[in-house]
Structure formats: structure tokens, C-alpha cells
Amino acid sequence: MGREEQKKQASGWFRELRDRICAACEAIDGGKFVRTAWQRDGGGDGEMSLIKGDVFEKGGVNISTVHGEFSESLRKEIPGADSDPRFWASGISLVIHPRSPLVPTVHMNTRMIVVGEGIKQWFGGGADLTPIYPDDKDTGDFHAVFKTACDTFDPAYYPRYKKWCDEYFFLKHRGEPRGAGGIFYDYLNSGDWEKDFDFTKEVGKTFLDIYPKLVRRHMHKKWTDVQREQQLVKRGRYAEFNLLYDRGTRFGLQTGGNTEAILMSLPPEVKWP
């Protein structure tokens, strides 16, 4: 399959996955996502979908397919970009902040990147869960489905990507993890594009399978003001991580991405008491 056909298939999948995730969230919430399209100066476009609902206090699902040239500072960080700074990137990224402190916050992102005229090409992404009150069954089930998804492709994936997730989503200045983990992978190019694409699709489908189950498990439970306060403080940690460390946030802001779309990940209400 030629590169252009690969790009078309990947960006098409991210769009289809977006539609399926939004439909699944709307079925739970009763509310609707509002969709806003944007154009990128320098090439490409995207769509943000934002829900402000009863179950999902704020949920943002973004897709984008952009191209351009990496800035000087990024050329040193991105594999292959020092010899050819052109890039093409397509992906889906979501963060959902439920209203109830008993329903875990979640993040999922998958993307396909091409640097130069195909000098380097890879997939990356992952999914991770951030409960306010960690629940062994939720955490166990979340990890179990991603382990199954990984094992179908390579038994080495799950331990590697689980570890990468734990290391990545860690607040060094606090000495604490952002949440209960999940998987994180990047620079995936096994030499078999179809296999890597199938794995990336599987990560999205696995998210779509497990997260609605976890939401339904807790969404009807009553919560207390103390639990809400705890949630607002935990969300502060989430904001700290995204603004201090998150590569997607920093990459997006540095490559002239859409600020509103990038910062849609920030929680609707936060406390630093």
C-alpha cells in the first residue's frame, strides 16, 4: 500500500473512531457533543467535539490531520526531523472529565506520524485511567482488556507499554503518578504497517469497549461534597501534568496547533486550596 493510501486509511479510521466514541458517550449522557472545525495556518485541519453534559461534565474528542515543517527547536527532538523537517500527522485525542468523583477520568490518544518524505513513519498512542478513588476492579479490568489487546499482536507489548505509561504519566515534582496507568506507546514501526495500524485500531476499540462499562458501573452512585472537593484537587494535578509535562500539549502549542483544541483537555473546574 502506498504512503498516500496509508494516510487516507489512518485519518479515515480516526474520524470513524471519533464518531463511534461520541455516539457511545451521548448514549450514556443524554447530552450532545458540539462540533467545531478549525483550519491550521501552514496546513491541515481538525475538528473538536465538546460535550458538557450531566454525566460528562466536560469531554473533548479531537481529531486532526495536519502537515508542515517542524520548528528549529523541535527538529532536534523528533526522529528524522534533522534531515527533513517536513511532517504529516493525523490522530485522535480525547480527555473526559466526569461530573461524579466516583467515575474515573480518562484519556485516550492514537496517531500516525510521517517525517519528511517517508524518512520515518510511526504510530503512537495509548489510554490511561485517572480515578479519584482508585477501585481495584476498575483498574484491573482496564489493564486486563489492554493486555489482551496487546498480547494478540506481541506478548512483549503490554509489559513494555504499561511501564512506559507509568513512567510517562508521573508528576516528578509531586513524586506521584497521574492515575492508575494503562498503556503508552510511541515510535511503533515493526516493519509491517498493516499490523501496526491494526494494533492502533485495536487500542481505540478497546477503549470504546471498556470505558463505557466503567462509567455505567458508578454513574448512578451518590457522592458527597468531600468527594467532590477531593476530585477538584486531583484535577489540579491533571492540569499540572498537562501544562508542565505533556508532550502532546507542548508539541501542539509549539507547532501552531489549535489552542482551544489542545487545552480542551483541561478540567472544567479545579481547586488548588
Q: Give the interface segment with its own copies, choosing from 84-92, 123-131, 190-198, 265-273 (CB under 8 A).
A: 265-273
Cβ-based nearer residue to its own copies, 65 or 258: 258
What would the x/- binding string for its own copies be over residues 174 to 213, using CB under 8 A?
x---------------------------------------
- Binding segment (CB under 8 A) for its own copies, from list 34-42, 135-143, 162-170, 235-243: 235-243
Stretch that binds its own copies, among 6-14, 37-45, 157-165, 232-240 (CB under 8 A): 232-240
Does residue 272 bind its own copies (CB under 8 A)?
Answer: yes
Using CB under 8 A, which of 76, 137, 173, 222 touches its own copies? Answer: 173
Active site residue 107: yes
C-alpha distance from residue 60 to each of 47, 177, 269 (Å): 10, 22, 14
Q: Does 152 bind its own copies (CB under 8 A)?
A: no
The phi, psi pair for 41, rounded to 5°, reads -60, 125
CA dihedral 175→181→183→185, nearest 10 degrees, is -20
E strand or H helix at 217, and its extent?
helix 193-218
28 binds its own copies (CB under 8 A): no
Closest CA relative to residue 57, chosen from 39, 31, 79: 31
Q: How far apart are CA 12 and CA 10, in angstroms?
A: 5
Residue 210 Cβ, how far from its own copies at the closest point, in Å? 26
Question: All 3 cell numbers of residue 188?
Answer: 511503533
Q: Per CB under 8 A, does 273 bind its own copies?
A: yes
Q: Retrieve residue 17's grid coordinates.
A: 473512531
Q: Which of 28, 74, 78, 266 binds its own copies (CB under 8 A)?
A: 266
Looking only at residues 54 through 83 of this chain, which bind its own copies when binding is defined by CB under 8 A? Answer: 58
247 near its own copies, rule: CB under 8 A? no
**CA-based nearest residue to 251, from 163, 182, 186:** 186
User: Contact 166/142 with Cβ under 8 angstroms?
Assistant: no
What secondary structure letter does DSSP report for 249?
Answer: H
- Which of the stretches 125-133, 135-143, 196-204, 260-268 binds its own copies when contact is defined by CB under 8 A? 260-268
Residue in 107, 173, 218, 220 annotated catalytic? 107
Q: Which is nearer to its own copies, 41 or 117 (CB)?
A: 41
Q: Which three-class secondary structure state does DSSP give residue 207? A: helix
What angle in degrees, to the nearest 10, is found between the helix axes of 136-153 and 193-218?
160
**145: burial class by Cβ within 10 Å (0-12, 13-18, 19+)?**
middle
Judged by the rule CB under 8 A, the positions of this chain that interact with its own copies are 52, 58, 172-174, 232, 236, 239-240, 243-244, 253, 259, 262-263, 266-273
* Active site residues per annotation: 107
